[in-house]
Amino acid sequence: MIDSRFDTTVTTTCGYCGVGCRLEARVRDDAVVSIAPALDGPANEGHTCLKGRFAHRFSRHRERLTTPLIREGHGFRRASWEEAVALVAERLGAIRAADGPDAIAGLASSRATNEDCYAMQRLMRAAIGTNNIDNCSRVCHSPTSFSLRKAFGLSGATGSFADIDRADALIVLGANPTEAHPVAGARIKQAALRGLRLVTIDPRRIELADYGVLHLSPRPGTNAAVLHGIAHVLVRDGLIDEAFLAERTEGFGEAAAVSAGYTPEAVEEISGVPAADVEAAARIYGEAREASIAWGLGVTEHRHGSDVVRLICNIALMTGKVGRPGSALLPMRGQNNVQGSSDMGALPDTFTAYRSVGDEAVARSFEAAWGVELPRERGMKIPEMFDAAVEGRLKAMYIFGEDVAQTDPNTAHVVAALESLDFLVCQDIFETETTKYADVILPASSFLEKSGTFTNAERRIQLVAPAITPPGEARTDFDILLTVSRALGHDMGFETPEDAMREIAALTPDFAGVTYERLGRAGLQWPVAPDGTDAKILYEREFSLPGGRGRLAALPYKEPGDAADADFPLILVTGRRLQHYNAGTMTRRTANLDLFAEDFLEIHPEDAERLWIGDGELVSVRSRVGRIEIPAKVTDRIEPGHVFTAFHFPEVRTNLLVGASADVHTSCPEYKVVAVDVRPMPEVPAERPVLAQV
């Protein structure tokens, strides 16, 4: 039916979380007036959440960047595109000439399209000549990517959200889907009410715990011990799939030998989870015909997050619960395109589809396509970039669609790094904490204003279509990156994002069959064969490793990087609120702010009483590296000894508290274990948080 209220209705893909809802954006007078879920969206099946549906007004917010800005004194002045691009090319060119290409680094955005990210890494590699390119999956799911590749071969979910409906049991570990991935959370809740045996493992009693059959509350940083305990019981009680282990895996003996040391009683000692609950969790998972595991940043954002992902893979391999409908491993990707930005090679060590920059054949194929010579050594990861900037080795950064000064840990260090740079380009849709340090700000476009593709948490590549035009003189990210690259002397030869996807498909076997036409309304889950056949389920017959066998890992539990002590007696865990999204750049500019206006620190009644903290009272939270002030919320959703808050609000700047501790393999920050001291605030609250004295 034609609805005369709207000029057009455009089907696109949501730009918030990694679920990848397909949306219908209803447009009038070049503004989105309403968004409805697409009934045929494979991941959302006609549903979406308050972010996808309602939080679109930021796109026409008066604070949108509408012209390029160039630093002038302590402020910025408006500039033309010609001037801004010329300045970027000139300064980057000069730094490259003086200090070499590796004095420049770029960050791609997990919020942007695959084509944008592809163009960004090509800009850095081909136009600048460096592998110093990374993206914000570094600070969220890099351990997942790393460990899935080690255990199975490919960096992505082994199945789809639909597997939740087919599973008999599901473990949700270190994730709070009903807030962070609401549509997937709703799906899990419905499945649990239908009889799915749901086990939740989280220091907080998340909402889904109310619908599950078992909830475990391990001390932050002890996930590995719990998984070992589960593995121990699986082996001890014969709940393993011996035929699968024999035919399709390697490393079981060594892995089992390590787990043998983790009796449920020993795990109770380490994690605080009652031994009987560890036994019960193992039985629920092991005895289910089909069982899946979903996890989030509560697994990865730890000192040993990569190990925990391997241990998740271990129990799936031990029980043969992978590669079948209903038996899937589902990392809950945080951002709309955190999967795709890494797939596209916006990483310091890999080209598209995680092929090493040191792989001669692969590198040559890109050299041939791009007509340049490419470096073979890996570039810097994000934390290394900041270290190098502070040390003076890194002179310039091109940051695209990220607010590192708010979202990255050890904020004081990040700010010091940004201040140390000779030249900083930010490409964004709003001024942010990070753009304060920029020399040039390029006004870009939101997901509602661009075309391209996003890849969701189930590896599904889905089309993004522009519903409205970018405001003022703002341009699409793709267009900006092409223009800058051309100004630097490297013409990518693309007209449209679709051209970029043709090149990606031509240069990437796992994307060989991807065309926009084939993506259609439902998208395709990579790997996509040349004939367009996609993969709902990975590893049905063999793993994507040499020899085709999945690899179990023998990794003992290791203590987290931080621990409570006499000075910092509580453990802070950070996470997301339903109403907001990451840095809040978008959601805080919508009426979602009306629904959730001010963050709070969740604290258990016992701790609150002991510390003389009343519900709603302002408290001071101090860690080893910083201090913030925030109101308290007394709730028994959190275990005693722990506190929780989110990181959406610049007024709070939670990440001031998070130190440098990070995953040993991937440098993913340990956002989830920060020892803090919480005290009531007797004095008049400060207007702004106090920056840390490092």
Which of residues 28 and 679 has its CB atom nearest to another protein in the complex? 28
In DSSP notation, 88-99 reads HHHHHHHHHHHH
Which of residues 45 and 102 has its CB atom nearest to another protein in the complex? 45
* 458 is a contact residue toward another protein (CB under 8 A): no
* 595 is a contact residue toward another protein (CB under 8 A): yes
Which of residues 476 and 592 has its CB atom nearest to another protein in the complex? 592
* CB proximity list for 284: less than 8 A, separation 6 or greater: 169, 197, 199, 213, 214, 291
**Residue-wise over 45-76: b if at least 16 C-beta within 10 A, else e?**
bebbbbbbbbbbebbeeeebbebbbbbeeeeb
Interstrand relation of 133-135 and 104-108 (parallel, antiparallel or unpaired): parallel
Nearest Cα residue to 108 out of 84, 81, 140, 132: 132
Which span sits near another protein by CB under 8 A: 33-41, 77-85, 525-533, 620-628? 33-41
| Phi–psi pair at 33, nearest 5 degrees | -105, -20
Peptide bond into 527 cis (omega under 30): yes
Interface of this chain with another protein, residues 478 to 497, rule: CB under 8 A: none
Which of residues 78 and 637 has its CB atom nearest to another protein in the complex? 637
Which of residues 182 and 298 has its CB atom nearest to another protein in the complex? 182
State in angstroms the smallest separation of the CB of 180 from another protein.
13
Contact mark string toward another protein, 165..194, x via CB under 8 A = -------------x---x---xx-xx--xx
Which span sits near another protein by CB under 8 A: 38-46, 253-261, 283-291, 345-353? 38-46
Among 22, 47, 96, 459, binds another protein (CB under 8 A): 47
* 6 is a contact residue toward another protein (CB under 8 A): yes
List the structure tokens of 384: 């290394």
CA dihedral for 557, 562, 564, 570, sign (positive or negative): negative
State in angstroms the smallest separation of the CB of 235 from another protein.
32
How far is CA 233 from each of CA 138, 230, 251, 265, 281, rounded to the nearest angstrom? 33, 5, 18, 11, 9
State in angstroms the smallest separation of the CB of 540 from another protein.
22
Place of tokens 């890109």: 366
State in angstroms the smallest separation of the CB of 179 from another protein.
9
Interface of this chain with another protein, residues 204 to 243, rule: CB under 8 A: 211
Which of residues 167 and 528 has its CB atom nearest to another protein in the complex? 167
Which of residues 34 and 515 has its CB atom nearest to another protein in the complex? 34
* 5 is a contact residue toward another protein (CB under 8 A): yes
How far is CA 345 from each of CA 137, 141, 208, 296, 326, rounded to the nearest angstrom? 12, 15, 35, 22, 30
State in angstroms the smallest separation of the CB of 21 from another protein.
11
State in angstroms the smallest separation of the CB of 33 from another protein.
5
How far is CA 240 from each of CA 197, 289, 319, rounded to the nearest angstrom? 19, 12, 4
| Phi and psi based region of residue 627 (left: phi greater than 0; alpha: psi -120 to 50; beta: remaining) | beta
* 3 is a contact residue toward another protein (CB under 8 A): yes
User: Between helices 223-236 and 305-318, what is the axis angle to 10°?
Assistant: 20
* 390 is a contact residue toward another protein (CB under 8 A): no
- Strand stretches in 610-681, DSSP E: 618-623, 627-634, 642-646, 674-680
Which of residues 190 and 533 has its CB atom nearest to another protein in the complex? 190
State in angstroms the smallest separation of the CB of 390 from another protein.
42
Among 1, 243, 566, 684, binds another protein (CB under 8 A): 1
How far is CA 410 from each of CA 301, 407, 424, 572, rounded to the nearest angstrom? 14, 9, 19, 14
State in angstroms the smallest separation of the CB of 169 from another protein.
17
* 591 is a contact residue toward another protein (CB under 8 A): yes
Chain residues binding another protein by CB under 8 A are 1, 3-6, 28, 33-34, 36-37, 39, 45-50, 53-54, 57, 178, 182, 186-187, 189-190, 193-194, 211, 578-579, 591-592, 594-595
